[in-house]
Amino acid sequence: MIAFIWAQDQKRQIGHQGRLPWHLPADLAYFKEKTSGHPMVMGRKTFASFPGFLPGREHIVLTRDKDFRAKYPADAPLTVYHSLPELREWLLAQSELVFVIGGASLFESLKDDVSRLYLTEIEETFEGDTVMPKLDLTKFTLLEKKVGQIDAKNRYPHTFYVYERK
């Protein structure tokens, strides 16, 4: 099953200069909780935004760079695909939950294949240069809605949503 997981602001912005435009530890914890133990699919730029490999997760990277895999140790939790059709074929063959984590072009390319959505909506507007593609939420059923707690570390109002395709 293919799931998208992302956070967005009120303008659907998801990134700024290769980073998240906000600091929201509750969302990072949510991301870790949901993705741990599952493969994560991402584009090369999203992968480059990480400080390193995230523990407990296979990293599936889509890139045109044919030498990309060779840049990492053989035992790194990394699988590389060089074309969207090749990646889509692998994704559709998976019986376990697989998370697509970005970027925007990968979300756009796979939006017709996604079964579940994990959305953190931040009730604020930030400076951004990457926008989440529009998804037709009428094709999904809301399974869960949880309002996040605001505190000294999590200053922005935010809500966690889980949707499943009808």
Give pLDDT tens digits for 101-115. Answer: 999 999 999 999 999
Kind of pairing between the strands at 140-147 and 98-102: unpaired
pLDDT at residue 14 in the model: 97
pLDDT at residue 46 in the model: 96
How high is the mean pLDDT of the chain? 97
Which CATH number fits the domain 2-165, given the four candidates 3.20.20.70, 3.90.10.10, 1.10.3720.10, 3.40.430.10? Answer: 3.40.430.10
CB 110 within 8 A of CB 124: no
155: amino acid identity, one letter: R
The residue ranges of every structural domain in the chain are: 2-165
How many percent of the chain have pLDDT more than 70? 100
Distance CA 21, CA 49 (A): 12
**132-161 pLDDT tens trace:** 999 999 999 999 999 999 999 999 999 999
* Per-residue confidence band for 75, with pLDDT thresholds at 50, 70 and 90: very high
Distance CA 109, CA 56 (A): 26
